[in-house]
Structure formats: C-alpha cells, structure tokens
C-alpha cells in the first residue's frame, strides 16, 4: 500500500494549502483502512484566489496562438502515456473501478489531449459570400474567459480532461473543482499539465466539497463558463445560480438508460452487452444500462442467462486484475442502493439475484454490493424510472418494438439507449424514435468515443454536448466579422449592387 499523500491546491502555478489549513481524507472504497491521502478542504477564499489567478492569466493565454497551446496539450498527452499505469492504479485505489477500466479512463484523457491539441490547428470558422460587392464575411471562435469546471467521481480523470482540454485549446483559463471522493486522479492530471509547461494561472485546481468549494466557483462573478457533471439536484441549483448572470452553462446529469432486446436478437451477444452495460463500473456510469426491455418471446431465456452471468461476476479489490466489479464509491451510495432494493421489493418487482451488500472476509473492508436483477418490472416502478447509480437492473417485458420504444422513452432522462436486433428495419426505427443523445445498435449503452459528441436529451442535460468538435461550442463564442473593402457606405438589405 502506498503511503498517504499530503496534497495541495494548484493556484497561480504554486502548490498551496487551503487558506483554512484544513484537509479531508481520501479513502479507498475497497479497503476502508487504506488512507490514500489528505487533500485541502477549500472554501470561498481559495476559490477567490484561483479565479483571480485564472482571470490574470487569461489575457496572455487568449493571445497565445492556438497551435502553441496545442503543443502543451500534446506534451501532456505524451506524459499521460508514460504515467498511465501509475495513474490507473491510483484511480482504481481511490475510485474502485476495475484496473482495466481505470486504464481506459486514463486513455480517454490521453485521447482527448491529442484530439484537442489537433483542434489548435483547426477550430475552423466559415467564410461565405457577402450580399454586397467588395465585402468579406467570416466567423471565428473567441474564448469566453474563466471556466469553472465541476466534476464527479465516476470518471475521475476522463471527465476533468473532457472539460479541461477543449477549454484550454479555445484560449480560456480554468479552475477545476473535482469530486471530493476522487481528488487524486484530478491532481494527477493537473500535475501532468504543470509538467507539460502550462503557464502559471492558466490551470488552477481547488479540492474540496461541493457546497464549500463548488458553490463559490459557480457564483463567482468572474467565472463566465460553468461546466458541471453530476446529479440532477445539484445541476438544477447550479443552473439557477448561472441564470442570474447569464453564464454559459454546460450540464451533464443523470440517465436511466435502456437496452431493447428484440425477439430476433443474438441473445448471447445481448446478454454480454447487458452485463457489461449494467455492471461495468459497478453500475456507476451515467450511461449504465439500468433497464432492459425484452421481447416476451425471449424474455425467459434472456433473463435466465443474464442472471446466471450476473451471479458469476468476480467482485473484489479493483487492483486485482481478475476482478470484474469493484465496490460502490461510498457509504451514502451504498445506502441509496439499499433504499432502492427495498423500494423495488415493495413495488412488487421480483428479485432474481443480489439485493444485498456483500460481507465476510475482505468484503467487510469495503462497500461491496451483489449484482442485483429485478424481474417482471412494470415501466412505472420507481426502480425503472429513477437513477440508482449502482449494480441494479430492472427487466421489463414488452410485446413488440413499438411498445419497447414507448417504455424506453417513458423516463425523464435521455442519455443513452441501444437495441439488439438482427432486423435492420427495427434498428433504423429505434434509431429514429429513441429520445437519447447516444444510441447504439447491437452494442451496449456504454462505450462513448471521444471524437463523437457526448450528452443527453430531456432532463439529462441542457442541450450542450461534450467531446468532439461540439465541445468547442461550450468553450467559445462565435464572432461574425464583416470586412467592407469598397471604400463607401454599403447598407445590407437596402443597397442593391
């Protein structure tokens, strides 16, 4: 076990303690006695310093040519490759995802660094003819200013990277407030950016709790963009604060994602995808497949194999490479899952497996939970409507594709969905009808790639997308430029050439 790390905030290019001198503990969710480190418990004063540093650094960074900014991101990407294994181990230890998934999380940050570095030489605008002679029209992207980035614990490096890299390449400066459960992974990312030569004040990192450190960042008059990924409750609060001063706001919140399994599906493939979607990251992904809507003709067969596979998952310490599913992130999450198990039972859903905390031996040291499957659920049950964020799945029978689509869409969220079918007509109809920002055919609901837009419809978000070129729209404003070289007054819509 590595010794506890005493960590600091990164403000204006310096590693500093919280103004209060207070710190909080970062604990391994698989082994409670493993204290990973102490991180600064920041408050409004720390945020004030970080935002001021970011504001001061903004002018020079905004004027640094974007390809030069990109070179720093390229360097950061290369350093992430060199440090990948160490960072993945830190992440598995602090967050509890299986080592293989932790490596993938770091890989997303690497991919995003390189992708956005490339945007330093793109960030294409438009040129278009003017309606008047001797006049030139074009659009360019302009940075917005200081960005406040607030991130959750389930993708502790990928999500900070999804926000940092596009913000930086567009010429903004940032203050990152990572989740209190996973400050080490965010620290590792910021350290890489420091080592890659990011100028002082351009990237600032403030650890701490949501209400104490996140809220002041959202409220601060100098933060012009807020990008938030987390719960719908907090997202709503953040949106209300941002509305007061018309800040740019990108929200990425909950999901109640669905896999539709049709009667003609390759059932083996569908089960494999459903197990991965439901129990990968212990169900703690915003794209987790928490509902499986299955055609009645294959419902029994599918559920039998699915339950068998769920029971066979190897659960334990994520640092053990054989382990497929780690613990839940913390006690609160464990209590939430327990609460939903009780709700499901009361609603009359049939518990097919799991439904309890794992205990005995090493399990007593962590927040381990048995993969849980509820059968014969009706679409209106709370376990089929509300986001649980744990290894809990609701199986819902359907009579045909139309009904499956209706059930699939009948939730407030709209992040990801998928269909398993051998019928191309069904696949295309579902593709058109599903109200989700992400849709898969013959694949699970998880597995986004960084060069495609990521985000959800309905109450999952507020219409923005992360990743891909779409992310640049969050971190830049279009400036439309007209250059009149006629040497005379030309009036649009009035003068005819």
Q: Out of 263, 286, 377, 387, which one is annotated catalytic?
A: 286
Q: Pairing mode, if any, of strands 392-398 and 372-375?
A: parallel
For ligand ADP, the closer of residues 330 and 378 by Cβ is 330
Q: Based on CB atoms, which residue is closest to ligand ADP, 18 or 238?
A: 238
User: Does 387 qualify as catalytic in the annotation?
Assistant: no
Chain centroid, CA 18 distance in Å: 27
CB of 237 to ligand ADP, least distance (A): 5
Beta-bridge partners for 149: 176, 227
- Closer residue to ligand ADP (CB): 250 or 373: 250
| Spatial distance between the Cα atoms of 296 and 404, rounded to a whole number of angstroms | 10
- The one catalytic residue in 108, 180, 252, 466 is 252
> What is the nearest approach in angstroms of ligand ADP to the Cβ of residue 389?
7
Q: How many residues are listed for the chain in this entry?
A: 497
Cβ 62 to ligand ADP, closest distance in Å? Answer: 26
> Residue 56, Cβ neighbours under 10 Å: how many?
14
Nearer to ligand ADP, 170 or 215 (CB): 215
Using DSSP, state whether 300 is helix, strand or coil.
helix
Active site residue 252: yes
Nearer to ligand ADP, 230 or 366 (CB): 230
- Residue 231 has φ and ψ, to the nearest 5°, of -75, 155
Q: Which is nearer to ligand ADP, 36 or 179 (CB)?
A: 179
Give the whole-angstrom CA distance, residue 377 versus residue 357: 22
Distances (CA, A) of 322 to 43, 315, 319, 325: 41, 9, 9, 9
Least distance to ligand ADP, CB of residue 336, Å: 9
Give the per-residue SS3 of 135-163: EEEEEEEEECCEEEEECCCCCCCHHHHHH
- Shortest distance, position 154 Cβ to ligand ADP, whole Å: 7
Please state the closest distance from residue 39 (CB atom) to ligand ADP, in A.
12
Q: Which residues bind ligand ADP (CB under 6 A)?
A: 150-152, 177, 179-180, 209-211, 214-215, 218, 230-231, 234, 237-238
Q: Please identify, using beta-carbon distances, which residue of 27 and 373 lies nearer to ligand ADP.
A: 27
Question: What is d(CA 469, CA 213) in angstroms, rounded to the nearest whole number?
Answer: 30
The helices-and-strands tally (H runs, E runs) of the chain is: 13, 22
Phi, psi of 257, deg, nearest 5? -75, 150
Query: Which residue's beta carbon is nearest to the bound ligand ADP?
Result: 210
Q: Where are the alpha helices (DSSP H) in 139-284?
A: 158-169, 183-195, 215-219, 232-244, 267-279
Q: Look-up: residue for tokens 């992130």?
A: 329
The catalytic residue positions are 252, 286
């Amino acid at each position: 076990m590595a010794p506890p790390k005493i960590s600091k905030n990164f403000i204006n290019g310096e590693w500093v303690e919280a103004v209060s001198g207070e710190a909080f503990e970062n604990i391994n969710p698989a082994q409670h006695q493993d204290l990973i480190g102490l991180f600064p418990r920041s408050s409004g004063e720390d945020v004030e310093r970080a935002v001021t540093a970011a504001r001061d650094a903004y002018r020079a960074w905004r004027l640094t040519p974007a390809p030069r900014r990109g070179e720093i991101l390229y360097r950061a990407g290369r350093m992430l490759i060199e440090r990948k294994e160490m960072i993945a181990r830190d992440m598995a230890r602090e967050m509890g995802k299986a080592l293989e998934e932790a490596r993938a999380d770091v890989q997303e940050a690497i991919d995003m660094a390189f992708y956005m570095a490339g945007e330093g030489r793109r960030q294409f605008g438009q040129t278009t003819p003017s309606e008047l002679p001797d006049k030139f029209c074009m659009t360019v992207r302009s940075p917005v200013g200081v960005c406040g980035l607030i991130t959750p614990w389930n993708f502790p490096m990928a999500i900070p990277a999804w926000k940092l890299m596009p913000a930086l390449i567009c010429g903004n400066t940032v203050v990152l407030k990572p989740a209190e459960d996973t400050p080490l992974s965010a620290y590792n990312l910021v350290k890489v950016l420091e080592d890659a030569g990011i100028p002082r004040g351009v990237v600032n990192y403030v650890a701490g709790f949501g209400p104490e450190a996140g809220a002041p960042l959202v409220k601060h008059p100098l933060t012009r963009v807020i990008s938030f990924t987390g719960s719908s409750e907090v997202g709503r609060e953040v949106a209300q604060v941002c509305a007061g001063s018309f800040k740019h706001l990108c929200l990425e919140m909950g999901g109640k994602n669905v896999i539709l399994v049709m009667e003609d599906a390759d059932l083996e493939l569908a089960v494999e995808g459903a197990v991965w979607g439901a129990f990968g990251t212990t169900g703690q992904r915003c794209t987790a497949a928490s509902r499986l809507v299955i055609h009645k003709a294959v419902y029994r067969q599918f559920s039998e194999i699915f339950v068998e596979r769920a029971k066979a998952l190897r659960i334990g310490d994520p640092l053990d490479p054989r382990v497929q599913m780690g613990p839940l992130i913390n006690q609160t999450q464990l209590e939430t899952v327990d609460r939903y198990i009780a709700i499901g039972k009361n609603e009359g859903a049939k518990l097919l497996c799991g439904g309890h905390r794992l205990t005995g031996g090493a399990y007593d040291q962590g927040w381990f939970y048995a993969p849980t499957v509820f059968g014969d659920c009706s679409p209106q049950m709370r376990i089929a409507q509300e986001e649980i964020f744990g290894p809990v799945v609701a199986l819902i029978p359907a009579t045909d594709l139309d009904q499956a689509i209706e059930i699939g869409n009948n939730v407030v969220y709209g992040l990801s969905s998928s269909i398993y079918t051998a019928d191309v007509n069904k696949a295309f109809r579902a593709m058109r009808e599903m109200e989700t920002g992400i849709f898969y055919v013959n694949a699970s609901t998880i597995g986004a790639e960084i060069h495609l837009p990521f985000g959800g419809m309905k109450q999952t978000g507020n219409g923005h997308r992360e990743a891909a070129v779409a992310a640049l729209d969050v971190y830049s404003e279009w400036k439309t430029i007209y250059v009149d070289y006629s040497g005379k007054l030309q009036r649009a819509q009035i003068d005819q050439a």
